[in-house]
Structure 1
C-alpha cells in the first residue's frame, strides 16, 4: 500500500511537471522579443505578433505588410450574429478611411465554419471589399488567444497593440478608437 502511494505521488509529480512545461512553452510562444527589443505579445503596448495567411484568391498577406498604417484586426466567423451585425459598419469605415493610412484586416475563423464556401457567399451578400484572411488551422486565433467572436485588436502604425475589443463595434466606435492611434 505504501509503495502504491509512492508510485502515485511520483506519477502526479511527473504529470504536474509536464503541465508546467506546456504552460511555459505556450507563454514563450506568445511573448518574446523582437529585433528592436520590443516585447512581442498580445497585451497592450506589445508589438503585435506577425502572421501570414491566405485570402480566398490565394494571395498571401502578412500583418507586417501593413506597418506604417493603423490596423483594425478583426477576428470573425459567418455564423456569429455580432460579427454579422458589425460588418456593414466595418465596410463603411473601410471605404471612408482606406486611403488615409488605415487598414482593415478581417481574419475569418475558417476552422469553425461549416464550410469554406460560406465565406465568399457571406462577403458577396454583405458587399465586403476589405482584405479577408482565412485562419484555416486556428493559428492566429490561438496566437492571439481569441476566445469569443468578434474580437478586434487595434494596432498603431508602429505595429504596437493599443487596444483589444471583445464584442461588436459600430462605425462611430471604429472611427473614435482607430483614428486616435498614432
Structure 2
C-alpha cells in the first residue's frame, strides 16, 4: 500500500512538472512573439553591429541617408558564389551614389571567407555573423537572402535566392538616395 502511494505521488509530480514547463514555455512564447515576428516591407531594419574582415565595426544605423544592399551568404552556397561577382560589379557603379553593400557571412571561418573574397576579388565590406544573432534577427533560413534598406532605414524588399546582375542593378536603383 505504501509503495502504491509513492508511485502515485511520483507520477503526479511528473505530470505537474510537465504542466509547469508547458505554461512557462507558453508565457515565454507570448512575451517574445514580437521578437520572432516576420519582418515586413516598411518595417525599420533591425540595427546591428558586426565587424568586417579588416576589423572595422559596421553599425547598420550609421548608414542612414544611404541605401543599403544587405546580403546574407555563405562560402558553401553555390548561388552565393555566382551572384557575388555581379554584386561587386554593380557596387563599383553605385558606391559613389549613396549605396552600400554589406555582405553578412553566416558561420564560415575567417580562413574560408578570406579565400572566397580573394578568389572573387570582392571590394565591398564582408561582415562576419559568428554568433548568428543577426541571421536570427532577420529570420534568415535559406541563402542567399538580400534585404534592401532605404535611406530612411526602412526595409523595402526581401529577396530570397540568387540574383542576376540586372536584378541587382534594379534593386540598387530602387534604394538610391535622391540627389
Gaps of 5+ in 2: 1-6
CA–CA distance in 2 between the matches of 1:97 and 1:15? 52
CA–CA distance in 1 between the matches of 2:73 and 2:32? 23
Q: TM-score, normalised by structure 1?
A: 0.84
Does the alignment pair 1:91 with 2:88? yes
Q: TM-score, normalised by structure 2?
A: 0.85
Q: Which of 136, 139, 147 does residue 153 from structure 1 map onto?
A: 147
SS in structure 2 at match of 1:29: coil
Q: Which of 47, 50, 70 does residue 50 from structure 1 map onto?
A: 47
Counterpart in 1 of 2:125? 131
CA–CA distance in 2 between the matches of 1:62 and 1:50? 7
Alignment of 1:27-176 (within 5 A): 27-29=33-35, 42-109=39-106, 111=107, 113=108, 115-176=109-170
Gaps of 5+ in 1: 32-40
SS in structure 1 at match of 2:104: strand
Contact 1:47 1:160 in 2 (8 A): yes
Larger radius of gyration: 2
CA–CA distance in 1 between the matches of 2:13 and 2:52? 52
* Bigger relative contact order, structure 1 or 2 (CA pairs below 8 A, ≥6 apart): 2
SS in structure 2 at match of 1:27: coil
Counterpart in 1 of 2:4? none
Q: Deviations over 1:41-68 (max 9, x none)?
A: 7321110110001111111110111111
Counterpart in 2 of 1:36? none
CA–CA distance in 1 between the matches of 2:21 and 2:151? 44
